[in-house]
């Protein structure tokens, strides 16, 4: 209000007293100082703000610049999850998730190399490439996240699938299996170093650990074990019929009808990616999973689930089939928001859909299934 | 003043020195091939915002001094007074328009404050006895401008606070209110001291900030060069870096570790442009869709259609696997 009444430099008829004018000048000076300090601090703040890293920063920190191929350790004997075919290709949910993550890391499909990895080698990321053991960049091998494994130094990404433990027997198996305690005294096979093996021992079963789940199922067919237990998403693949065009490199022999038992375990098995100790790599994988869950138009997770695991559900469905045992939760598990600095228009770039994913997406819509979001 | 033209030259030399990572032969090679016109264009584009900052900053400080302590406003003794007295209004107007086009959106409220402040002070100086003008341009104009600014900026200020970007919120929210308060004289005794101090501060900070900004500006295009024998043989290597020049025998590339690579032209299978090291925005705040870190020019001018980045820009061969 001072501007009206306060005299300027050469005001002939002052409207206010000189004392009041001086007070107004003082107030203005104080306001100016406050504004200048505030703006100076704000300018320094915005000019020096670095914000979260960019994707390029993370890729560089993860050592991906100049890298010609991404090595991913996967299982090769788990139908529906990750299985090696006669022609050398891999198929399954883990494989599709691996391709999705690799694309976000900047690798095309042909720049991804899968190496079979044994259960015991997953923590150390050691896979055999045909001539020697190599350290893979990522392990995406139905690897359950557990505190014990974290304590051993395994760095997990956010979870990408939620399933539970279940039991597989021959259809001819007599007794019901309503819980692991029903397996007391039975010969039960499971994966070595798996979370299932620990629980079996707690319930007094005669547990034998093998490095490959297919060996367990083969032992079941051969009659040398009574039951196999591990994650339902893995076992469901053995119960469901193979896709008509699937020709596994390591087929099982003496195949017999199987029965999949829901053992009422409430502990969820959440699968994660072993990203190794590089923090940037973990951030990149988590960002990829977060994008899959939240960005509209990104349906790679749904497509992977529909094409591999949802297909197995009828065979594992309610009686008189072998169930009911849910293969896995049909929604992407909740995951952490990863902040990455991007140009505003980068969010508009959508991954083009291939025909298979488009079909899976349509099927997903028809069933009303969608990812949960984070 | 006579040393002023030396500043851009110093900046250019420093930029080349930094680009060569302080390696003299590399710098001499760059001096040989980098076009002076290109360097000057880069300098101009990168620092065009600094010109209105200096002109308007000087104008405001000088006007404050002139209105607050006219007896200390001596163009013969003070550089600030000299520049203020001799800067015509149209230069200030042109500088304001240039600032409106080249300052980032988040600094536009501050520009509004400066312009309104400047108008109020000039009216006070020229027409001290025109109460109607003082009322219209000293009070009503800042009030109206502040009101319109707040109506327009309110969603962005809320969004900035929600994202925890206090600095952005302050830059958007403080200046319109300040514009209403500031259009008048300061105490006679403190005005000279304050304006002198502020002008020294601006004189010290502007070269520092412009130098820092310029050192981050790309001078050479970012490229990836695919090297190998002619097709159908596979490529051997991809060299990501910055293209220095192409002679009739060699393609000269400054790679990511600032080593100069001389690649015989017959081994160059492909060359592609890569995204430059431009600064990706930090702030998520937008003002009605206008990102606060973009200038009006950025926002208005057509932009290239976004495309996924080619893997070769990361040094990855296209035909692996």
Cα separation, B222 vs B255, in Å, equals: 10
Residues A69 and A114 in one domain: yes
Say yes or no to pLDDT of A188 above 70.
Answer: yes
A349 contacts in B (CB within 8 Å)? 306-308
For A52, A58, A331, B290, the CA distances from A342, given in Å and listed in that order, are 9, 12, 27, 15
Say yes or no to pLDDT of A277 above 90.
Answer: yes
Cα separation, A325 vs A311, in Å, equals: 13
Residue A64's SS3 state is: coil
Say yes or no to pLDDT of A228 above 70.
Answer: yes
Distance (Å) from the alpha carbon of A1 to chain B's nearest alpha carbon = 7
Q: How open is the CA angle A50-A53-A54, to the nearest 5 degrees?
A: 115
Who among B135, B184, B311 is closest to A28 (CB)?
Answer: B184
Residues A257 and A278 in one domain: no
What share of chain A in percent tops pLDDT 90?
32
**Assigned domain for A367 exists:** no
Q: Tell me A106's DSSP state.
A: T
Residues A120-165 pLDDT 10s: 889 999 998 888 899 999 999 999 998 989 998 999 999 999 998 8
Residues A178 and A137 in one domain: no
E strand segments, B42-145 = none
B309 contacts in A (CB within 8 Å)? 106
Say yes or no to pLDDT of A285 above 90.
Answer: yes
**Assigned domain for A38 exists:** no
Cα separation, B108 vs B112, in Å, equals: 6
* Burial of B211 from C-beta contacts in 10 A (0-12 / 13-18 / 19+): middle
Say yes or no to pLDDT of B296 above 50.
Answer: yes
- The residue ranking higher by pLDDT, A340 or B262, is B262
Domain boundary among A262, A292, A318: A262
Contact B194 A29 (CB under 8 A): yes
Who among A1, A26, A107 is closest to B187 (CB)?
Answer: A26
**Assigned domain for A13 exists:** no
* pLDDT at position B141: 92
Distance (Å) from the alpha carbon of A122 to chain B's nearest alpha carbon = 24
| Token pair for A52 | 């979260």
Q: How open is the CA angle A126-A128-A132, to the nearest 5 degrees?
A: 100
Question: Quick check: bond before B133 cis, omega within 30?
Answer: no
Residues A184 and A310 in one domain: no
| Token pair for B287 | 């003002």
Contact B138 A46 (CB under 8 A): no
Can you give the residue range of the structural domain that contains A202?
166-262
* pLDDT at position A94: 94
B182 contacts in A (CB within 8 Å)? 28, 31-32, 35
A26 contacts in B (CB within 8 Å)? 187
Contact A344 B182 (CB under 8 A): no
* pLDDT at position A287: 94
β pairing state of A258-262 and A161-170: antiparallel
**Assigned domain for A365 exists:** no
Tell me which chain B residue has its CA closest to the CA of residue A52.
B282
Who among B110, B125, B170 is closest to A9 (CB)?
Answer: B125
Mean pLDDT of B168-187: 90
β pairing state of A126-128 and A133-135: antiparallel
Task: Give Dmax over CA atoms of chain B in angstroms.
Answer: 86
Q: Tell me B256's DSSP state.
A: T
Who among A3, A7, A111 is closest to B120 (CB)?
Answer: A3
Contact A111 B316 (CB under 8 A): yes
Distance (Å) from the alpha carbon of B38 to chain A's nearest alpha carbon = 26
Domain boundary among A209, A239, A262: A262
Cα separation, B135 vs B13, in Å, equals: 51
- The residue ranking higher by pLDDT, B85 or A327, is B85
β pairing state of A90-91 and A82-84: antiparallel
Split at pLDDT 50, 70, 90, the class of A85 is very high
Contact A45 B308 (CB under 8 A): no
Split at pLDDT 50, 70, 90, the class of A195 is low
* pLDDT at position A367: 40
| Token pair for A162 | 């939620």
* pLDDT at position B291: 87
* pLDDT at position A373: 38
* pLDDT at position A73: 95
Who among B280, B306, B320 is closest to A69 (CB)?
Answer: B320
Residues A170 and A157 in one domain: no
Where helices occur in chain A by DSSP H, the ranges are 2-5, 18-48, 55-61, 93-105, 147-151, 195-202, 213-222, 232-239, 279-294, 300-304, 355-366
DSSP A269-302: EEE--B--S-HHHHHHHHHHHHHHHHSTT--HHH
Contact A42 B280 (CB under 8 A): no
Residues A310-324 pLDDT 10s: 888 877 765 544 457
B286 contacts in A (CB within 8 Å)? 344
B311 contacts in A (CB within 8 Å)? 106-108, 111
Residues B101-110 pLDDT 10s: 999 999 999 9
The answer to whether A227 and A216 are in contact (CB under 8 A) is: no
**Assigned domain for A311 exists:** yes
B139 contacts in A (CB within 8 Å)? 1, 3-4
**Assigned domain for A249 exists:** yes
Distance (Å) from the alpha carbon of B124 to chain A's nearest alpha carbon = 6
Cα separation, A158 vs A282, in Å, equals: 9
* pLDDT at position B170: 94
E strand segments, chain B = 222-227, 237-246, 250-255, 260-264, 268-273, 286-287, 290-291
The answer to whether A33 and A98 are in contact (CB under 8 A) is: no
Who among B68, B209, B281 is closest to A344 (CB)?
Answer: B281
Split at pLDDT 50, 70, 90, the class of B55 is very high
Residues A197-227 pLDDT 10s: 777 778 888 888 888 899 999 999 998 999 9
B129 contacts in A (CB within 8 Å)? 8, 10-12
Split at pLDDT 50, 70, 90, the class of B284 is confident
Mean pLDDT of chain B: 87
Residues A331 and A304 in one domain: yes
Contact B190 A29 (CB under 8 A): yes
Residues A215 and A286 in one domain: no
Contact B138 A113 (CB under 8 A): no
Note the Cα A256 to chain centre separation in Å.
33
**Tokens 């952490």 sit at which residue?**
A336
Cα separation, B14 vs B34, in Å, equals: 14
| Token pair for A314 | 């009828």
For A59, A240, A247, A248, the CA distances from A244, given in Å and listed in that order, are 39, 12, 8, 11
Split at pLDDT 50, 70, 90, the class of A176 is confident
A31 contacts in B (CB within 8 Å)? 178, 181-182
Residues A134 and A214 in one domain: no
Provide long-range contacts, Cβ within 8 A and 24+ apart, for A44-51. A45/B166, A45/B167, A46/B106, A46/B167, A46/B168, A46/B171, A46/B282, A46/B283, A47/B209, A49/B167, A49/B282, A49/B283, A50/B282, A51/A341, A51/B282, A51/B283
Residue B128's SS3 state is: coil
* pLDDT at position B320: 47
Who among A45, A50, A113 is closest to B167 (CB)?
Answer: A45
Please state the length of chain A: 374
Contact A3 B184 (CB under 8 A): yes
Could you tell me the sign of the dihedral formed by the alpha carbons of A70, A73, A79, A80, in that order?
A: negative
Cα separation, B52 vs A253, in Å, equals: 81
| Token pair for B162 | 């929600």
Contact B125 A8 (CB under 8 A): yes
Q: Tell me A306's DSSP state.
A: I
* Burial of A270 from C-beta contacts in 10 A (0-12 / 13-18 / 19+): buried
What share of chain B in percent tops pLDDT 70?
95
Residues B185-222 pLDDT 10s: 888 888 889 998 999 988 888 888 888 888 878 888 88
**Assigned domain for A9 exists:** no
Split at pLDDT 50, 70, 90, the class of A9 is very low
The question of ipTM being above 0.90 is answered as: no
Residues A181 and A330 in one domain: no
* pLDDT at position A319: 56
Per the structure, the count of domains in chain A is 2
Residues A320 and A198 in one domain: no
* pLDDT at position A57: 86
| Token pair for A357 | 């994913």
**Assigned domain for A139 exists:** yes
| Token pair for A366 | 């028809």
Residues A157 and A286 in one domain: yes
| Domain containing residue A175: CATH number | 3.40.190.10
Residues A68 and A188 in one domain: no
Say yes or no to pLDDT of A52 above 90.
Answer: no
B166 contacts in A (CB within 8 Å)? 42, 45
């Amino acid at each position: 209000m001072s501007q009206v009444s306060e005299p300027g430099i050469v005001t002939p008829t002052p409207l206010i007293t000189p004392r009041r004018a001086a007070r107004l000048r003082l107030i203005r000076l104080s306001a100016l100082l406050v504004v200048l300090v505030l703006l100076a601090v704000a300018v320094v703040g915005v000019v020096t703000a670095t914000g979260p890293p960019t994707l390029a920063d993370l890729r560089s920190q993860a050592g991906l610049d100049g890298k010609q191929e991404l090595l991913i350790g996967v299982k090769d004997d788990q139908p529906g999850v990750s299985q090696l075919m006669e022609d050398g290709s891999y198929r399954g949910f883990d494989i599709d998730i691996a391709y999705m993550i690799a694309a976000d890391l900047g690798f095309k499909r042909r720049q991804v190399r899968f190496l079979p990895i044994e259960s015991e080698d997953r923590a150390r990321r050691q896979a055999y490439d045909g001539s020697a053991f190599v350290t893979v960049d990522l392990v995406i091998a139905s690897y359950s996240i557990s505190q014990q494994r974290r304590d051993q130094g395994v760095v997990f990404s956010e979870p990408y699938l939620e399933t539970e433990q279940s039991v597989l027997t021959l259809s001819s198996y007599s007794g019901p299996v309503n819980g692991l305690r029903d397996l007391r005294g039975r010969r039960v096979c499971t994966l070595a170093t798996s979370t299932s093996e620990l629980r079996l021992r707690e319930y007094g079963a005669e547990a034998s650990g093998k490095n490959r789940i297919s060996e367990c199922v083969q032992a079941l067919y051969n009659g040398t074990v009574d039951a196999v237990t591990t994650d339902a998403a893995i076992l469901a693949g053995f119960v469901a019929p193979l896709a008509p065009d699937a020709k596994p490199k390591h087929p099982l022999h003496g195949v017999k009808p199987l029965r999949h038992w829901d053992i009422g375990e409430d502990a969820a098995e959440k699968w994660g990616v072993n990203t190794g100790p590089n923090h940037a790599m973990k951030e990149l994988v988590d960002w990829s999973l977060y994008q899959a869950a939240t960005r509209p138009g990104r349906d790679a997770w749904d497509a992977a689930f529909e094409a591999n695991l949802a297909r197995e559900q009828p065979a594992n469905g309610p009686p008189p089939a072998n169930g009911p045992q849910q293969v896995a939760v049909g929604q992407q598990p909740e995951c952490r928001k990863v902040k990455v600095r991007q140009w505003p228009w980068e969010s508009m770039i959508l991954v083009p859909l291939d025909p298979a994913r488009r079909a899976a997406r349509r099927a997903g819509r028809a069933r009303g299934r969608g990812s949960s979001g984070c | 003043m006579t040393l002023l033209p030396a500043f851009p030259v110093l900046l250019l030399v420093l930029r080349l020195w930094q680009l060569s990572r302080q390696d003299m032969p590399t710098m001499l090679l760059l001096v040989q091939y980098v076009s002076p016109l290109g360097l000057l264009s880069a300098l101009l584009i990168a620092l065009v915002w600094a010109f209105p900052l200096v002109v308007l900053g000087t104008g405001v400080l000088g006007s404050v001094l002139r209105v607050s302590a006219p007896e200390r406003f001596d163009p013969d003794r003070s550089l600030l007074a000299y520049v203020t007295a001799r800067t015509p209004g149209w230069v200030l107007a042109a500088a304001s328009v240039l600032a409106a086009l080249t300052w980032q959106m988040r600094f536009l409220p501050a520009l509004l404050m400066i312009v309104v402040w400047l108008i109020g002070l000039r009216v006070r100086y020229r027409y001290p006895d025109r109460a109607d003008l003082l009322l219209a341009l000293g009070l009503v104009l800042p009030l109206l401008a502040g009101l319109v600014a707040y109506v327009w900026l309110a969603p962005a200020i809320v969004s900035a606070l929600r994202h925890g970007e206090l600095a952005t919120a302050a830059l958007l929210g403080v200046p319109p209110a300040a514009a209403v308060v500031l259009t008048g004289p300061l105490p006679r005794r403190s005005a000279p001291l304050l304006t002198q101090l502020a002008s020294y501060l601006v004189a010290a900070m502007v070269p520092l900030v412009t130098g820092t900004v310029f050192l981050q500006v790309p001078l050479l295009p970012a490229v990836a060069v695919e090297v190998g024998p002619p097709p159908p043989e596979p490529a051997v290597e991809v060299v990501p870096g910055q293209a220095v020049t192409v002679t009739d025998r060699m393609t000269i590339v400054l790679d990511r570790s600032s080593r100069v690579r001389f690649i015989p032209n017959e081994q160059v299978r492909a060359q592609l442009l890569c995204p430059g090291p431009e600064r990706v925005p930090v702030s998520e705040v937008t003002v009605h869709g206008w990102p606060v870190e973009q200038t009006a020019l950025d926002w208005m001018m057509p932009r290239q259609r976004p495309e996924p980045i080619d893997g070769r820009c990361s040094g990855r061969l296209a035909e692996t696997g």
